A and B are shown apart, each in its own frame.
Chain A
Amino acid sequence: MNQFIPRGTSKISARGLNVHYGDKQALHDIDLDIPAGEVTALIGPSGCGKSTFLRCINRMNDMVDGAKVTGSLTLDGSDVYDRQLDVVQLRARVGMVFQKPNPFPKSIYDNVAYGPRIHGLARDQAELDEIVMNSLEKAGLLAEVESRLSESGTSLSGGQQQRLCIARAIAVAPEVILMDEPCSALDPIATAKVEELIDELRDNYTIVIVTHSMQQAARVSQRTAFFHLGKLIEVGGTEEIFTNPREPLTQGYITGRFG
C-alpha cells in the first residue's frame, strides 16, 4: 500500500462551496485546496463549519435531512457531488474516523475485516488475514490485541478503540482519511499515541483532521485552515498560522481571546 504521493499537488479542492441545513447556511463560499500527502488541520470555534466541511468530502451530509450542498468539491479533479458518482466507492477512497470511538459490537478481527468484506477486497481468507494484520500493525494496535482478535471490539479501552477505528478505516486502503476530533474522547496518553500514528500515516495518506485543540493542530499538521462562522478565514502552513497569522480573527482565536 506504499503508494507514492506527490507532495504539494492538491488532492481535494473546494470552489465556492456552500452548505445549507434547511434555512441555515453552515458554509459560505469556501475555496480550499488540500494537498496530497500532508496533514491538514481544520480549526475554529464550535459551530464554525469545520466538521460540516469535513463531512462534505465523503458526503456524510447526504444523510442529514434538509442538507443542501452547492458549489464544487473535487477529489483528484473529479466532482464529488457528481450525480453519476457512487457514494459507496467514494467512501472506499475517503475513510473516516469519528469523534467518539465507534467500534462495531463485533470481534476485533471482524471490525477490521468489515470494510474489506463489503468491498470484496480479499480473494481468500489468507488475504483477508493479511489485510487485517497489516491494518492493525499500521494502527499500532497489533501488539496489544494479537492474542485476542476474537474478543469484542467494545472490550478495548477508549484509546485502543479509536486506534481500532483507524485500523478499520485503513483496511479499505483509502487515499484520504478524515478525522473528526479523533482525540476529544481520549486521555492524554491515548491522545499522544493517536497523534504519533497520524504522523506516521501521512506518508501514505492524505489526512484532514478537525480539532478543537490548537496544540494538537500545531503538533500533527503541516497545513492549517481556520474557520469562523461558516467562512474560511485563513489557510496556510501550520507554522505560519500559529506564529504569524495574517488575519486578526485568526490571531484572536489562536491566542485564546475567543473560542
Chain B
Amino acid sequence: MQTVTLAALLLLLSSLAFQMGRKRAFAVASGHPGTLHSLPGYYGWWVALWCGLPAFAILAVWLMFEPSLIRALVIADLPEAMRQLPAERIDVIINEVRNAAQGHATANPDFAAAAEHYNRLQQTGFAAAVAVTVTLALAGATFAYRRVHAELRARPRVERIINVFLVASSTVAIFTTVGIVLSLLFEAMRFFHMVDFVDFLFGLSWSPQMSTRSDQVGSTGAFGMVPLLTGTMLISAISMVVALPLGLFSAIYMSEYAQPRIRAIAKPALEILAGIPTVVFGFFAVVTVAPVIRSIGGAFGLNVAAESALAAGFVMGITLIPLISSLSDDVITAVPQSLREGAFGLGATRSETIVQVVLPAALPGIVGGVLLAVSRAIGETMIVVMAAGLSAKLTANPLEAVTTVTVQIVTLLVGDTEFDSPKTLAAFALGLMLFAITLGLNVIALHIVQKYREKYD
C-alpha cells in the first residue's frame, strides 16, 4: 500500500515535470514555438522522463532487494542459539516473525523483539526509499528543466527512450519463452538420465507408477510415449474430421452465399462458440455426448467405453469449428473479387467459381489455418482430461478409452509430487515433446500462410 502511494507520488511529480518542461519550452522560445527544435510537448516529455525514470528504476531495485536485506538484518539480530539452526528452521522462524510483525500474537518473547526490529527496519527502509526516490525525481527534473533550450533535440531523445521501452517490452515476451523452454529442457534432461531417450520415444508401454521405496514390491515403471502419442493423434484426427468440414463449409457459406444481414448475425453467433470455456465443453462431453455415443453403439451391439476417444474428439472438434471457420473465412474473403468476376465473366456458375477458382486460391491460407487448429487439438487439455480417460492403450479404435500426452502431464503433476523421481520428471519430457510438435506445426502453418500473403500484395 505504501509502495503504491509512493509510485503515485512519483507519477504526480512526473506529470508536474511535464507541465513545467512544456511551459519552459514556451518561455525559452519567447512566444515563437517555431524557433524550437521540437514541439513543446516533447520538451515536457523529456523533463518528465528525467524526473520519473531514474526514480522508478531505483524504486524497482529497492523492491527487489528489500525483503532479503531485511531478512538478513533480522537474522543477524536473532539470539545466537537460533542463528545456528539449519536453514529450513530459520525459514520457519522468519515466517513466525513476519506474522508477529503484522500484529498476530506470539508467545515467544524473542520473536516479539525480532518482530519489533522487523517493523522498525521496514519503516526505516521505506522512509529511505521515499527520500532517495523523491530526491532523485526532483534532481532529475531540475537538471532537465535547466537544460531546456531552443536547440535541444528533445524529440529524437524522447523517441529513443520510447524505442528502448518498446524493445524492452518485446524482449520480456521472448525471454519468457526462452526461459520456459530452458526449464523444460533441463528437467527433461534429468529425466533422460534416468530413462533411456530411445525407450521413451519408441517404447510401446506407458505405466509411470513406481515403487517409492526399494523394499516395496511394485513395478519399475515404463515410460514409452508411443501409446500417448497415438492417443493424441487419434483424438486430434477425430476432432479434425468433425471440425474441418463443418468449419470450412460454414466459412464458404458465410463468405460466398450469406446475405449481409444473415452474415451479421450468424458470424458472431458462431464466434460465441469460441468463447465457451473448454471445461464446459469437457462436461458436455462427459455428461451428454459420451452417453449418447454409448447408447447408439449399444444399439448396434458395439461395446463402447464410458470414456471414449470418439466423445472427446467429437467435442474437441466442435470447439475448433470457430477457429477453422473464421481463419478460412478471412482467407476466402481475401481472394480478390477480380478473380471471381473473371470466372463469372467466362460463364462460370457460383459453385464452379468457388470450387475451381476461389478455394484453390485460398488453399494455402486454409491449410495454414487447419495446421493451427491441429496444434490446438494436440495441446488441448481440459476436454481430454475429463472425457478421454487415463488408460494408455495402444489402439486405433475410437470407441475405446485412450489417453493423451496432455492428460498424462496433468495426472503426473497433480497431488503429492517429488521432483527427483522419473514419474514427475516424465511430465517435463512429455511437455518438451508436445512443445516440439506444436512448434513444428506452427512454424509450417505460419510459413504457408506467409507464402500465400506475398501472392496478392
Contact = CB atoms under 8 A, between A and B. Distances in A.
Interface string B396-409: 00000000000000
A98 B346 contact: no
B186 interface: no
A58 B356 CA distance: 21
- Interface size class for chain B? 10 to 19
Contacts of B338: 98, 100, 102
Contacts of B360: 104-106
Contacts of A85: none
Contacts of A103: 342
B455 A169 contact: no
Contacts of B343: 104, 114
Nearest to A58: B345
A165 interface: yes
Interface in A101-120: 102-106, 114-115, 118-119
B263 to A, nearest CB: 12
Interface string B321-352: 00000000000000010110111111111001
A105 B346 contact: no
Given A105-B455, A118-B352, A154-B455, A91 B346 contact: yes
Contacts of A165: 342
Contact of A92 (B336, B341, B347, B361): B347
B339 to A, nearest CB: 6
Contact of B347 (A100, A102, A118): A118
Contact of A91 (B336, B339, B344, B455): B344
A119 B346 CA distance: 9
Interface residues of A, number: 28
A121 B346 CA distance: 13
A27 interface: no
Contacts of A88: 347-349
Given A88-B349, A118-B347, A154-B455, A98 B260 contact: no
Given A106-B360, A154-B455, A60 B344 contact: yes
Contact of B346 (A65, A89, A95): A95
A91 B352 contact: no
A102 B339 CA distance: 6
Nearest to B348: A118
A104 B339 CA distance: 6
Contacts of A154: 455
A168 B361 contact: no
A207 interface: no
Contacts of B339: 102, 104-105
Contacts of A87: 347
A102 B260 contact: no
B357 interface: yes
B346 A169 contact: yes
Contacts of A106: 360
A124 to B, nearest CB: 20
13 contacts: A60-B341, A63-B341, A65-B260, A88-B348, A96-B345, A98-B342, A98-B345, A102-B339, A103-B342, A119-B347, A165-B342, A168-B342, A169-B345
Given A88-B348, A102-B338, A169-B346, 6 more contacts: A60-B344, A89-B347, A90-B347, A92-B347, A104-B360, A105-B455
Rank and list the top 6 A-B pairs by shortest CB-CB distance, nearest first: A91-B347, A96-B345, A102-B338, A115-B346, A92-B347, A102-B342
Interface of A: 58, 60, 63, 65, 87-92, 95-96, 98, 100, 102-106, 114-115, 118-119, 154, 165, 168-169, 172
